[in-house]
Amino acid sequence: MKYCKKCNVSVNSPVLRCPLCYATLIPRGNSPEPLAYPVSSQGALRYNMVLRILLFLSLSVNTICITINLLTAPGRLWFLIVLASSVYMWITIGTSLRKGRKLGFSVLSQGICLSGMVMLLDYFLETHNNWAFNYALPLLFLCATLCISIIVIVKHIAIRDFILYFVLTALLGFIPLILIALGLVTVLWPSLVSIIYSGLALASIFIFADHATKIELKKRFHI
């Protein structure tokens, strides 16, 4: 035990100065002061060099592209494609590298990001045949739902572990329905395939759902 004259308190930690006022402590008694907490083993914060190089590269590439684009062809903003690709790359890195991330989540996020990408490409490449709405989007959604179906079947994963992403990905497949209603689709069959497959996938969940799956649905979608 030690004593601080200025604060008028005894101090029972292995320190030489008062933790309150930094005055030198006076020893009292011979018993050594115990540590109140183990010496903290906190290391330095993590520093990921590879990710930082990638971040710096995408920053430089985008800055250079924007400058060149605006100097040479200010009417045609192609740098947006470069920018979108970088954003897509970072979303992919973010969703797949994080600890504990689910496969289902990756499929869903890829489905959403890639559909954004193809619409942007279609817009800038000015293909005039609407390939994004006619082919790319419906087939992309079809692939995503198919992917999850295959994962569930092949990996023998209980459907309840995948239910949230399964339902959300299947719901994506209905987006072509909205596109048809808006008159943006000229070639019908890819959209129809996507809608029908999604509808059947959703129906299968509800038809084959056992008690556990129903509870899982309730948990995941409770409001």
Partner 1 sequence: MKNSEKTRDIWYQLDNAANLFPSISGNSNTNVFRLTCALREPVDPGRLQAALEAAIDSFPYFEVVMRRGLFWFYLERTNLRPVAEPESGRPCGRIFYKHIKELLFRVTYFQNNINLEVFHAISDGTGAFDFLRAILYSYLVSAHRDSLPEELPILDREPPPVQQAEDSFNRYYTPDKTKSPFKQRAFTIGGTLLPNESIRIITATLPTSQMLALAKSKGVTITAYLTSLMILSVYQELMPKRAIERTVSVTVPVDLRGHFTSETSRNFFSVMDIGYNFSKGGDSFEEVLAHVTRKLQEKTNPQVLARAFGYTMSVQKNPFSRFTPLVLKNHILKAAYVKRERATTCAPSNLGRITMPEPFVPYIDHFSCLLNPTHLHRWKACICSFEDALVISFTSCIAETRAHKAFIRHLSAQGLDICVTCNGGADDEIL
* Interface ranges with partner 1 (CB under 8 A): 1, 4, 7-21, 34-42, 44-45, 98-101, 158, 160, 164, 168, 211-212, 215, 219-223
- Which of residues 76 and 219 has its CB atom nearest to partner 1 in the complex? 219
Q: Residue 33 Cβ, how far from partner 1 at the closest point, in Å? A: 8
Q: Residue 152 Cβ, how far from partner 1 at the closest point, in Å? A: 16
Q: Residue 160 Cβ, how far from partner 1 at the closest point, in Å? A: 8
Q: Residue 167 Cβ, how far from partner 1 at the closest point, in Å? A: 9
- Which of residues 148 and 185 has its CB atom nearest to partner 1 in the complex? 148
- Which of residues 30 and 41 has its CB atom nearest to partner 1 in the complex? 41
**DSSP annotation string for 131-178:** HIIIIIHHHHHHHHHHHHHHHHHHTT--HHHHHHHHHHHHHHTTHHHH
Long-range CB pairs of 101-109, under 8 A, 24+ apart, other chains included: 102/165, 103/151, 104/148, 104/151, 104/162, 104/164, 104/165, 104/166, 104/169, 105/165, 107/144, 107/147, 107/148, 107/151, 107/165, 107/169, 108/144, 108/165, 108/168, 108/169, 108/172
- Which of residues 45 and 154 has its CB atom nearest to partner 1 in the complex? 45
